[in-house]
Amino acid sequence: MWSSKLRRESFRNKEEEVMADKEAPPVFPIRPSKGMEHPSTGTSSIARIGRSIFIKGELSGQEDLTIDGIVEGVIELDDHNLTIEQNARINAKIRARNVVIRGEVVGEIDALERVEIQSMGRLQGNILSPRVVIADAAHFKGSVDMPDHEPQGEEEKEAPADSAVAADNHQPPLEASPSEELIRWA
């Protein structure tokens, strides 16, 4: 009898434990996020490819990356930052949040926020980014476009025949100086 009572009680306890387990909120493992400090070193998590490294292929990751070597192929960091250092030679299609260029890059860049070409930087290729910063001595050849930029209330025209007339009527914001004169060729 004691044994059966004990068995019943222990069964009830186990049932309660199972119910408690079912009601407990799920526990997710902690993952490092952007800008999070490394637990052992205390430094932020930025990976680095040194100047003697040569990579050919697809490079992807979930942390910031600094490249000082040679990379050919594809670089995908999605929501993270890419820094291309002075010794770097990149021939790749790049996707990142921010891209800073101090070395040489050939290829297309798709940046969520910003592309910055610093004074020693050279870029030949196309940029798709809402913001572009180019330093004075930087070298850039290519195109820049803003993603998803749609001018409102304007329809496409094949040839704006009246645009010159409209342009002629446009008044510049500054008043013309008396010594400035308008010359027209007949």
Enumerate long-range contacts of 88-97, CB under 8 Å, 24 or more apart. 88/51, 92/59, 96/65
Q: Which two tokens stand for residue 7?
A: 């068995």
Of 33-41, 61-69, 74-82, 178-186: span binding another protein (CB under 8 A): 178-186
Nearest partner of 50 among 28, 32, 65, judged by Cα: 65
Amino acid code (one letter) for 116: E
Should residue 138 be labelled a site residue for another protein when binding is judged by CB under 8 A?
A: yes
- Residue 63 beta carbon to another protein: minimum distance, rounded to whole angstroms: 28
Binder to another protein among 1, 24, 30, 161 (CB under 8 A)? Answer: 161
- Residue 128 beta carbon to another protein: minimum distance, rounded to whole angstroms: 10
Nearer to another protein, 39 or 153 (CB): 153
Should residue 155 be labelled a site residue for another protein when binding is judged by CB under 8 A?
A: yes
Question: In 10 A of CB 94, how many CB atoms?
Answer: 25
User: How far, in Å, CA of 186 to CA of 184, rounded?
Assistant: 6
Cβ contact 112:79 at 8 Å: yes
- Of 105-134, binders to another protein (CB under 8 A) are 117, 130-134
Catalog residues that contact another protein under the rule CB under 8 A: 117, 130-136, 138-146, 149-151, 154-157, 159-161, 163-164, 166-168, 170, 172-174, 176-177, 179-185
